[in-house]
Structure 1
């Protein structure tokens, strides 16, 4: 029996409603996990460990996080260099906005990236190029995280104990699957499948959108923009973007080292710090549907830190400390976002959104 247009439209609305509720479901799961961690741990020990970090320690975390976000912003700018009129400063500003939205608003951890692509068009960057640059930037970011997590898993494999061996093996198997998915995603971007999908989406839109006077639609351009970003003449830009994202992950290790040193665990070595940061970030990334990794980040730190004899109170204090830069930098970023939107609205011609 053929499916009618009303049936397809109804299924589309249901799917859209489900997708909109996924971040809410993730938030509920994260809150439950966070509540369980609070209930099963000594809050006094967490408070004491957090207090030992001190104002100077937290200030150091904020400065290191600024450096990490700037590195990510420069990595994004390198992808756009020579392709758009937007200055590098636009990517730096919007990178903070992307991070602020991802860590402070109840959206999946990619919500800020989607909005970042839209905001980039405020600098006269074509929408297709803005979307392509964010897709490429996200792919490089996830790929470098996978490499970082692989290094962490390899180092963890050298640690004695069945728990460490099991976690190392589980991480290795997960990274193999993630690597295959990343390779497939990159191949889809390079083989023109995105162009086919664009055509299908455009055709679907023309089927359900009724206009009094049909008007010609521009040919989808995202595939062409992706080809430009990944083009062979720009391999130097890609390598620089990869290096900058890798540097940003290493800044996370500096954050962990600062907190542990302040909390009285200065004897923890470099390899242990790398394992703690790499695997906790991998666990958080795997739960990207949970806004800001609420509860997941805390559980990840408790799990990984426990392998090195670090008590759960210190592990939770470490997670809380790493959330301080989220708030300190995220709130101004949200204000910048709203100012950009307000300025855009004031400059838009009458009758246009």
Structure 2
């Protein structure tokens, strides 16, 4: 039994080591793809297209992104309305922090969300409700993206050409798969799966202890009940009497995704792309965001976003250089807003006395 425990411990250590290295490996792969896309195209043309957008265009895009994150923060706040006495400003600030971590640090695209949930407890929110709010917020945000992408696919069907038809079919299949995954995620939250999983793990742990000849000790107070407590918090957030806050959260997230298309439209107008309309911007934004979401293990969608812009932009007559410039433009708010957000995060940690 000792050998079994040792083997299980080594396997667990190896698994943790692999999981720790996955984000870095994904970052390097994505960065390599992005560099390859830029290097195999005319860098002069990319720079010229980026320069045509100009400081005013970039400032407008950054301003739109600020509004987007404001709406997302308010949508998150709706989930704990009348549950936790946390000011809306805290949700907005932490939404910027979540985005900054997800876009600028080599973590999977949910790393910032985990940190954001923990930071929410600094305002007095219970850890269970903070975790529950993050789980529900991610589900609603992803569901809103699917709804937004469906609009993009419908508009894509109006674009002539065999390539557009093939891309629309592929996107439809991908959205169907995403819908199934989200439905499973919703069922996981609503079916008491966390509580059952906790009980199962606790039973297995106690049985393993008995089989190993050790004392049949009780689990540490709070340890086995934590996931069950989160399940209770999830049930509270999803309660039937809270349909209005959930609806408002959904509306705000949907509005945020559509505002993302405004960023593209501003860039297209500044680039002088003839006939560029809001419908075109919606298609480009919806499909590139869907592609990026499906590659969520790659931090900030490095390389994935760039490839998506080249693929989708070509349907609207955008050359590769212009499409890559669009992708670079979308990353400007990531840096301009992300760096201050990371500083806010470190400030919050320092005031809390936590060593990063």
Same fold (TM over 0.5): yes
Give the Cα–Cα distance (whole angstroms) in 1 for the partners of residues 195 and 95 of structure 2.
Answer: 27
1:287 maps to which residue? Answer: 295
Question: Deviation at 1:199?
Answer: 3.2
1:191 maps to which residue? Answer: 191
1:65 maps to which residue? Answer: 65
What are the equivalent positions in structure 2 for 1:335-346 lying under 5 Å apart? 335-345=343-353
Is 1:263 the counterpart of 2:271? The answer is yes
2:312 maps to which residue? Answer: 304
Question: Deviation at 1:125?
Answer: 0.9
2:21 maps to which residue? Answer: 21
Runs (5+) with no aligned partner, structure 2: none
Is 1:156 the counterpart of 2:160? The answer is no
Moved over 6 A (4+): 204-208
Aligned-residue CA RMSD in angstroms?
Answer: 2.2
TM-score for both structures, normalised by structure 2: 0.92
Give a deviation string over 1:111-145, Cα, whole Å, max 9, x none: 00011111111111111110010000000011111
Give the Cα–Cα distance (whole angstroms) in 1 for the partners of residues 270 and 125 of structure 2.
Answer: 44
2:146 maps to which residue? Answer: 146
Q: CA, structure 1 residues 247+336, in 2 after alignment: closer, same or farther (shift >3 Å)?
A: same
Runs (5+) with no aligned partner, structure 1: 347-351
Question: Deviation at 1:200?
Answer: 3.9
Confirm or deny: 8 A CA contact 2:295 2:301 kept in the other structure.
yes
Is 1:75 the counterpart of 2:90? The answer is no
Give a deviation string over 1:182-211, Cα, whole Å, max 9, x none: 111101111101112233455677778x99
Confirm or deny: 8 A CA contact 2:262 2:278 kept in the other structure.
no
Question: Deviation at 1:275?
Answer: 0.4
- SS at 1:307's partner residue? helix
Is 1:276 the counterpart of 2:276? The answer is no
Confirm or deny: 8 A CA contact 2:50 2:329 kept in the other structure.
yes
Is 1:252 the counterpart of 2:260? The answer is yes
Question: Deviation at 1:216?
Answer: 4.8
Identify which range, 253-262 or 308-317, moves more after superposition.
308-317
1:217 maps to which residue? Answer: 221
Question: Deviation at 1:15?
Answer: 1.5
- Say how many residue pairs are matched: 346
2:172 maps to which residue? Answer: 172
